[in-house]
Each structure stands twice: as structure tokens, then as C-alpha cells.
Structure 1
Amino acid sequence: MTNADIVIIGSGIGGATIASGLAGSGASILILERGEPLPATPHARLTRSIFLDEHYRPKEMWREAGGAPFNPGNYYYVGGNSKFFGAVLIRYREEDFSELEHFGGVSPAWPFSYDEFEPWYSKAEQLFRVRGVLGEDPTEPFHSIPYPFKPVPDEPPIARARAELKSLGLHPASLPLGVDIETWLKEGRTGWDAFPNTGQGKIDAQTGPLAEALRDPNIRLETGAHVDWLEAAPDGKSIAAIHYTQNGAQKTLSPKLVILSAGAINSAAILLRSPSAKGKGLANSSDQVGRNFMNHNSSAMLAIDPRRRNDSVYQK
């Protein structure tokens, strides 16, 4: 095949979104995705298949620092991990961009403010067709454009809980969600967090930005393309070639620009296995690439009342 002007590695949230932003630019763009489209099978709405049999987990093992193997919660499909995401599309708050003191130390301020990001948050919310409402959450930062759709409606148990929380002077707020709730429920009456999106119910990287990008005839997607390593130019300041494997064949591309968006783990892994002058991998003069992974970590408070039954289908 002929080389593209721009090659995007990965079709998840990052790769698909930037591809949609480049649509109409006139550049020849190729997206390389190691996975294939997620097939529609009965497993997609079976709780046992997803949470017990781990039907969708990758057939690979990673290793902890001590060498113990484990099966990662990483998915290789068109659309990346977003095919299984909980569809919560919440903005950082204004103070998140400032210097913050935490229990473990001080987090430095970002080199730009929320105000600079805000227009792009608004664009992203339109692109992912987010359902939400302003005015419920007192921590919600300024929005230049309202959410494009009304929030997902409360089911009766959730509506009751909301009313009781409000009566206590609290501020329960609807999460902003990238979900076409009517379409999702037609395909099966389940929640969506960790359930694979095999149709149009969730607005994930594939059904949102990637679909928009592929309307441009200059943007193409190749699946089953596993990027092995990146070859740096002699001056070490650009990428001369992408080396990847597809259907057992070794292939090479030499685009003008490479966008690496293969996820937090695999982007680092690709850089680390790419040769460099100092032998530490590309873009790793600090020796910190892959060493500071930000995990999805949160705290929650759970209340159980044995006198009530929560029969809601989607609790988000």
C-alpha cells in the first residue's frame, strides 16, 4: 500500500478523536488498529460471560514488578477500551489544573488553564453526544455550550434516592453520559459499564469520532495491525518508519507524521521497545516512560437498606 501523510496508532478515544479532528484537512490519514471490530454475539449481554467467564479478556499475560503473571483488563478491538467503558464523560474541574496539595505531596499546576481547555471540552461533548444537565452539581465548571442532550432519566429507585438526598440538603447530580439510552435498552435490558457495545447504544470511540472520521475518503482504517516498533530518523527528532505485523506479514510505513495513541500501557511499551541512541527507548531520556501509570482509582460510600429492593436496570 502507499504511505499516508499521517499514521495514527490506535483507534480508541485518543486516536479516533484526533482522526475526527483531522477530517477535511486534505491529508491522507491511516489508522492502525491491532484489534478487529467487536462481533455481536449473545455473550455481549450475559453477565456470566463478562464477569465470571471473562469472555472478552485478552489472551495474553502481563507481569507484575516481582514477575507474577496476571491477565490485564485491556481490550483490543476497534474503538479500544471504550467499547467497554462506563460512558461517563465528566470534565476536570477548574482547580484540577492548578497546584494541588494531596496527602502524598503536591501536584504541580498544569502549564495551561481550564479556560484554555473549555472550548475543546464543549466540542468533545457534542462529538460524543453527551447527555447531562447543568446546575445540579455545584462543582461543575463553566460550560460555554450546554450538554447536547437531556440527562438519562432516573428509574424509580434512583428518583427516590435523589429526592431523599435533596431533602437532606445535598446535591445529587446526574452523571454526563455518552449513551443513547433508548437504543441501548432495545438491544438488552442491562447496564452498560463493562458490557461491550456491539451496536449503537454507547457513544464510544468507534460509534462517535471514528464514524465521523471515516466519512472522509482520505481517512482509512486497517485492523489486525500490531505495531512492533518505531524507527527514529538519524537526528532522533522524528519517526522515519513504523514497523508492524499484519496477518503474519512484516510491514513498514514511512509517513510524514506519526500519532501514537495506543493507550496508557501500550503507547509506553511501543516506545520502550523502539531502539534509541541511549538504549532506553524513544522519548525516554528521563527514563520515566511507563513508570508513572495513573490508575483508575476512586472512593465510594455504599448504603444498603434490607427493607428495600433496588430493581433499577441502569444505576448510572
Structure 2
Amino acid sequence: MNDIRQQQMDSPQVIVIGSGVGGGTVALQLARAGMRVLLLERGKALPDEPEPSDAEAVFVQNRYRTQEQWQDETGRRYRPGQYYYLGGHTKFYGTAMFRFRESDFAETQHEEAVSPAWPVSYAELESFYTQAEQIFGVRGAAGTDPTEPWRQADYAHAPVPHAPLIGRMAERLAGAGLHPFHMPAAVDYGPGGACTLCGTCDAFACRFGAKGDAETRLIRQLQAMPNVEIRTGVEVRRLLHDAQGRHITAVEVLRDGVLQHIEAPQVVLSAGAVNSALILLRSATDRCPDGLANRSGVVGRYLMNHHLTGLMGVLPFEINATPFPKTLSVNDFYGGISGDPMARGNIQMLGNIRGPMIRAAYPATPKPLANWLGRHSVDWLVMSEDPPLASNRVRLMPDGTPEVTWHPADLSAHDRFVRHVRRLLRRIGFPLVLRHSFGIEAPSHQCGTVRMGDDPATSAVNALCRAHDHPNLHVVDAGCFPSSAAVNPALTIAAQGLRVGAHLARSLGTSAAA
């Protein structure tokens, strides 16, 4: 094993940048095919300590958030909600694993913009969706979501059952004529499962290995493979190309304060939509003055992040002790509310909002009031598609600071949808419904900055995520998404990663044989 690992270290066939859902799925496909894979992750493994389950540490102290600074177009600087650890952002995600609807892959007209058609169809991704659900241990119930796309196989695991309070919410929604369904969730719950229903899942890291995150479900498999090496604490700065500006020849990394170059015949960039774009832009040369993969000028543009509004339904005379509330979702309004087809999207549960989370967002809130609201609320997430605009972008300032500009379209339509959902929640028993909007400072659903398409003049990568300008570079994360749909992106990233990884394994294997 040591000889194989040394051979791989000296001459990897593929460098994969990023250990999240995109990079992890590609690496797994390549490793299974016998390729020598070097996976680079800028973060390290999350420490095994109690604080990932402590709302005060996670939200008030921001113990796990990156220390780096971004800025908006006014020059205001802030610490973004970025988490750099082995497993990527999924260490802190809420386990939601939705398939995109079939209609999400077609051109979609919005109130103020158009989402273009994908160069990939649902049918091409369907088998990879199934594989991804199996890898991540997704639990769900097929046939209960009225907008669910066709599928050749049921979920391998039954859904996480509703807690009593959430079950009552489902009954009341059904009584209002809707079709609530069990949210597909990647969590190891049930007989013999690792989930202890500890109550800190969504927006927290799991200390028990029960969350279906990229580290638990992908990286641990890779760590056991002799043809894979994983290096943590390695920040990729730039990609280097040959004299013609076509082939990527090396990756420039910063590790322990020292710049190094690592060579490989193939490079897969999966650093997340914002950071993948920044790496490509930072790699600009005389041959590629606008950055790599950017002949079209789209790299860094078309940033999307979903319209996300949290609704806190307050129950003054009842305490919500539900440990895992993310079992319920509603898609009846995915095609619009009655009489207003542009006011549309998905409704799902948030994890329990706790007092420190409220004080982190609203510091002036008295601690007793924040804690009371946390105990007496049922918390919902209202999500609408964020259509792509070229003006929404990430770019590098002269001092190297990332600048993020995000002024999303369709805010009025989303607001009408939120107001409709607030009225619905009042109808099913919440006398008070508070709202909070999530902005780009928490880019948990970031996508679109390295968009894929068939035309090199309007896209950066093709349908298999290969850069139009560089035949040995693939960009595999949500940056390749031409549109954002209105459900969580993780499962679609995984499905596309498995698809690209399978293609790369076949093509590289054929090349090696030749």
C-alpha cells in the first residue's frame, strides 16, 4: 500500500480540488475505476469537540466560519458563511436531498428574467440520482410529492417519521387541501442507525457520523482506498497552463505558508461556485487575460443563491421539543399560487431555531425573549428560484479580496409567495408568524458562476463539465448550474458529479489502454 500511495503522490492521474459533494463524487468514481487520485482540501477535518452542537459557539461566536473577508460592491467587508472543512459545506447542511423537477431542466420564464434550459436532461441524470440517494443514505417516500419526477427505483430507506407536533402540521396542511410529504433527508436514522435525535442537525455539524455529509459518505470510502491520497490544509491558488494556454499543467497551492506546484494530466475543480470562479479568475495570464475557461466572459457571472425566507410560527402556549423537525415539505406551489403563477417555490421545515441564532441575527433581542421564541416556535423555510443575471457576480479586487455583487431578480414574486405562506400558517394555527430573509452573506446554495452549455460563446463548460477552452479541466460543483431551480442543490451536484466521474473514468481508461 505504501508503494502505491508513493506512486500516486509522485504522479497522480487526476487532481481533484475540493472534498465536498462535487469533488467527492467524481473522486469516488475515478478511484473505483483504479485511477490514481490526489484530492486537495483547503480545510482540515472538523475537530471532535462538543462545540459543533452548541448554538452559542456556532452562531454567536462563529467558531467554525471562515476568517476570510469578502466585500460587496460598496466596499463593505464581512465574514461570509463559508465553512472550509473536510466534506465541504455539507458538514453544516440540513440533510435535504431533493431531485430537481423535470421542468427545472427546461427554459423557465420568470417575472423579471429567464432561466435557460440545461444541456443535460432529467432522463440523463435519473440513474445517477438513484446512485446518489443510495450513497448518501437518503430516506424518503416516493409518490407523495405531487411534483416529483419519474423514478425507476424507490428510496432504499423509509422516511424519517414525523414527530407528533410536525405530524399535526402535516394533517392541518392536508386539511387545507395541500399535499405535504416527507422531505427526502440524508440521515442515518432508524434501527442500528447512528442518529441519536440530538436536536442539532440543520446548520450544525454532526458529532455522531449520522448526517449524510460528504465526509461521512464519500471521504471515508476514499480514505480506505490505496490509490487515493487526501491532503488537507492545502489552499489552491491558481491553475497553470502550457505555452499555448490550452492544457492545464499544474496546480499552484499554498500549504503551511509555502507555495508549491503539483502536476497531473487531469484536473477537476470542485471548490464551490464562488471559489471555483475565483480560482479560474486568479489564474489569468497573458494567454488567458480574463482567467481560465473564460473566453465567453461568463466565469464569475450569473451568481445565484435562491430566495430564502425563514418563517417562525409562534405557539404561545406550546413548547416545540421536536429534535428533528426537517421531515416535512410542501410543493403544491412549485408552479405558482392560485392566480399568480410567478409567486412560487418550495416550503420545508427549518431545524429548530434557538435563542442564540436569533441573537446572532438580531443582537438587540433580549436573551430571555430570544430563548422564549426558540422554545415556542415551529420554523419554516420558503424557497423560490433565483433566476440568473449576468450582473450578479463574483470577482477579485486588486488586493485579492473577493467582491460579491448580488441583486436578485423576482424579489416581488418571492415576497408574494412568502405572504401567501404566512397566511397559510396562520390558517393552520399560528397566531404570530415572524419572517427573516437570508442574503448572500450566507451563500449556502451558491451556484451558476461557471455555467455549462453547448455554446462556448455563452458558457464555460460543456454538458459533462469539461471546460470549452481546456480539454483536461473539468469544473464540477453547483457553479456549472445554468439555473437554480427551487429546491436544495446537493443531490443534483452529486448526481452530476457521479455522471462526470463515470465519463472521465471511461475516457481515461480508454486513453490508458490505447
Q: TM-score, normalised by structure 1?
A: 0.94
Instruction: Judge which range, 134-143 or 302-311, deviates more.
Output: 302-311
Against the structure 1 CA distance between its residues 203 and 185, is the aligned structure 2 distance closer, same or farther, given a 3 Å change threshold?
A: closer
Q: Which amino acid aligns with 1:206?
A: E
In structure 2, how many angstroms separate the alpha carbons of the residues matched to 1:95 and 1:310?
A: 36
Cα shift at 1:254: 1.2
Consecutive unaligned residues of structure 2, counting only runs of 5 or more, are 1-8, 327-514
Q: 2:201 is matched with which residue?
A: 192
- Whether 1:128 and 2:149 are equivalent positions in the alignment is no
- Alignment partner, residue 18 of structure 2: 10
Aligned residues of 2:38 and 2:230 also touching (Cα < 8 A): yes
Cα shift readout 1:253-294 (whole Å, capped 9, x = no counterpart): 110100000111111111111133242111112222112211
| Corresponding residue of 1:268 | 277
Aligned letter for 1:265? V
Q: Is the 8 A contact 1:38 1:198 kept in 2?
A: no
Deviates more, 1:172-181 or 1:299-308: 299-308
SS in 1 for 2:138: coil
> Is the 2:187–2:195 Cα contact (8 Å) retained in structure 1?
no
Note the alpha carbon deviations across 1:196-225, whole angstroms, 9 max, x for none. 133311010111122223332101101111
What pairs with 1:212-231 in structure 2 (closer than 5 Å)? 212-231=221-240
| CA positional deviation for 1:112 | 2.6
Take 2:41 and 2:235, find their aligned partners in 1: how far apart are those partners?
7
Quick one: which of 53, 72, 77 aligns to 2:80?
72
Q: Aligned runs of 1:193-212 on 2, under 5 Å?
A: 193-212=202-221
CA distance in 2 between counterparts of 1:85 and 1:219 reads: 26
Deviation at 1:160, TM superposition (A): 1.2
Residue 295 of structure 2 is aligned to residue 285 of structure 1? yes
Q: Which amino acid aligns with 1:14?
A: G
- Aligned equivalent of 1:314: 324
Instruction: Give the residue type in structure 1 aligned to 2:264.
Output: P
Match of 2:186, SS?
A: coil
- Identify the match of residue 110 of structure 1 among 115, 118, 126: 118
Contact residue 19 and residue 210 of structure 1 kept, 8 A: no
**How far did 1:300 drift?**
5.9
Distance in 2 between the 1:142 and 1:212 partners?
A: 30
Deviations 1:213-255 (A, max 9, x none): 3332101101111111111122222201111111222211110
The alpha carbon displacement at 1:302 in A equals: 5.2
Supply the AA of the counterpart residue of 1:236.
Answer: G
How far apart in 1 are the matches of 2:118 and 2:307? 21
SS in 2 for 1:227: strand
For 1:71 and 1:208, locate their aligned partners in 2 and report how far apart those are by CA, in whole Å: 29
In structure 1, C-alpha distance between the alignment counterparts of 2:174 and 2:254, rounded to whole Å: 56
CA contact (8 A) 1:45 1:195 kept: yes
Tell me which amino acid in the other structure corresponds to 1:214.
Q
Q: Residue 148 of structure 1: which of 127, 140, 156 is its match?
A: 156
Distance 1:70 1:117, change over 3 A: same
Amino acid in the other structure paired with 1:104: E
Structure 1 residue 26: deviation in Å?
Answer: 1.9
- Show the counterpart of 1:27: 35
2:490 is aligned to none
SS of the equivalent of 1:181 reads coil
**Residue identity opposite 1:252 in structure 2:** H
Residue type of the partner of 1:97? F
How many Å separate the matches in 2 of 1:58 and 1:251?
A: 23
**Residue of structure 1 equivalent to 2:495:** none
Q: Which residue of 2 aligns with 1:244?
A: 253
Using the TM superposition, give the Cα deviation of residue 123 of structure 1 relative to its aligned residue in structure 2, in angstroms.
0.8
| Equivalent residue, structure 1, for 2:452 | none
CA distance, structure 1, for counterparts of residue 163 and residue 215 of structure 2? 28
Give deviations 1:99-151, integer Å, cap 9, x for gaps. Answer: 11101122221123211111111111011110111121111111111111111
Amino acid at match of 1:306: P
Match of 1:59 in 2: 67
2:266 is equivalent to residue 257 of structure 1: yes
Q: CA deviation at 1:17?
A: 1.0
Q: CA 1:13 to 1:42, structure 2 compared with 1: closer, same or farther past 3 Å?
A: same
- SS of equivalent residue, structure 2 residue 181: coil
> Superposed, which structure 2 residues align to 1:288-299 within 5 Å?
288-299=298-309
Residues matched between the structures, number:
315
For residues 309 and 268 of structure 2, the distance between their equivalents in structure 1, rounded to whole angstroms, comes to: 34
Q: Distance in 2 between matches of 1:210 and 1:93?
A: 28
Matches of 2:165 and 2:312, distance apart in 1: 15
Q: Distance in 1 between matches of 2:87 and 2:307?
A: 23
| CA distance in structure 2 between the aligned counterparts of 1:288 and 1:28, rounded to whole angstroms | 32
Q: Aligned residues: percent identity? A: 40
Aligned to 2:381: none
Specify every segment of 5 or more residues in structure 1 that has no aligned partner in the other structure, as ranges.
none
The CA deviation string for residues 68-87 of structure 1, in whole angstroms up to 9 with x for no partner, is 10101111110011100111
Report if the CA contact (8 A) 2:53-2:206 is conserved: no
For 2:163 and 2:86, the matched residues in 1 are separated by: 32
One-letter amino acid matched to 2:297: D
Alpha-carbon distance in structure 2 between the residues aligned to 1:107 and 1:275: 29
Q: 1:44: which partner in 2?
A: 52
Preserved contact between residue 240 and residue 254 of structure 1 (Cα < 8 Å): yes
CA–CA separation in structure 2 for the residues paired with 1:78 and 1:264: 17
Secondary structure, counterpart of 1:298 in structure 2: strand
Aligned counterpart, 1:159: 167
Deviation at 1:153, TM superposition (A): 1.2
Q: Which residue of 2 aligns with 1:87?
A: 95
Contact 1:3–1:253 (CA under 8 A) maintained in structure 2: no
> What is the alpha-carbon distance in structure 1 between the residues aligned to residue 44 and residue 99 of structure 2?
30
